[in-house]
């Protein structure tokens, strides 16, 4: 039946749209997670290295040279920053820091100030990069949210159209059939299934039900006529019992020609 095919097709379309929305949501969040992880992995390392270098300089204080252990700690932090370059401005700043190492370790105040300024600049570069990456992740999240909202709206509209079509082509005809059958049981034998703009399958079902009801009504009329005839004949024999005998006597009393 075409109607059954349409119902199945509409149901599968709804299922497909919901599945597509679920896959799209998973894909969006899967893209957001690596973006946040990249922010933490790349720029976070450099910021940690900057913090460690600043902490080492602060521990040493003014006018004192670095010990061997403090020099090793500062160099390790600098190497971590040099091996984790993510922005184009970082190499120049790192080169300035490295060029002032000898005088910094010797306790030169001017080198100390220059190194602190360069470290702060390096940290600012990475924080700015993290801010831009965060904005990109937020933009991706907003885009994904609007995409999911659009897909949800599409599913809603398709569902409304499907429900309207199902109501018009299935539910309303079933209510009409139920009303006709109920009326027929209550004695309204002339009630038939009717409708406007019916689907071909529904029109065929209505036609078949009306044909069955017509046959049922005709058989009921015939049985009533037979019952009425038998009752009328019985009543005539009761109220005129001698009519048949009189006729016979009249026939026998007539002279033959």
Residues in the chain, pLDDT under 70: 1-6, 31-37, 219-257
Q: Torsion angle of alpha carbons 86, 87, 88, 91, nearest 10°?
A: -70
pLDDT of residue 115: 92
| Start-to-end Cα distance in the chain | 78
DSSP H helix total and E strand total for the chain: 9, 0
pLDDT of residue 92: 92
pLDDT of residue 78: 93
What length is written for the chain? Answer: 257
pLDDT of residue 73: 93
pLDDT of residue 36: 67
Q: Which two tokens stand for residue 187?
A: 């004695």
pTM listed for this prediction: 0.54
Distance of alpha carbon 51 from alpha carbon 43, whole angstroms: 12
Q: Which two tokens stand for residue 190?
A: 């002339």
Distance of alpha carbon 104 from alpha carbon 123, whole angstroms: 19
Distance of alpha carbon 31 from alpha carbon 136, whole angstroms: 11
pLDDT of residue 231: 56
Q: How many CA atoms lie within 13 A of 98 on its CB side?
A: 14
pLDDT of residue 1: 56
pLDDT of residue 50: 93
- Pick from 64, 133, 136: nearest CA to 105: 64
């Amino acid at each position: 039946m075409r109607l059954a095919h349409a119902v199945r097709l509409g149901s599968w379309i709804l299922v497909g749209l919901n599945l597509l929305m679920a896959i799209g949501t998973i894909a969006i969040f899967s893209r957001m997670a690596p973006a946040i992880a990249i922010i933490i992995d790349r720029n976070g390392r450099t910021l940690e290295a900057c913090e460690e270098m600043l902490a080492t300089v602060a521990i040493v204080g003014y006018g004192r040279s670095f010990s061997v252990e403090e020099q090793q700690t500062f160099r390790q932090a600098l190497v971590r920053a040099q091996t984790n370059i993510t922005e184009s401005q970082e190499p120049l700043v790192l080169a300035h820091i490295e060029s002032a190492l000898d005088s910094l370790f010797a306790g030169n105040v001017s080198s100390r100030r220059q190194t602190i300024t360069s470290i702060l600049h390096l940290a600012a570069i990475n924080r700015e990069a993290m801010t831009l990456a965060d904005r990109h992740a937020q933009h991706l999240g907003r885009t994904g949210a609007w995409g999911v909202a659009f897909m949800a709206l599409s599913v809603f509209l398709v569902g409304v159209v499907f429900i309207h079509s199902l109501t018009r082509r299935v539910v309303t005809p079933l209510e009409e059939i139920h009303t006709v059958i109920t009326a027929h049981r209550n004695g309204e034998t002339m009630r038939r299934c009717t409708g406007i703009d019916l689907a071909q399958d529904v029109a065929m079902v209505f036609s078949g039900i009306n044909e069955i009801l017509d046959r049922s009504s005709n058989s009921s009329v015939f049985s009533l006529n037979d019952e009425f005839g038998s009752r009328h004949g019985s009543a005539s024999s009761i109220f005129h019992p001698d009519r048949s005998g009189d006729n016979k006597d009249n026939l026998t009393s007539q002279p033959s020609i």
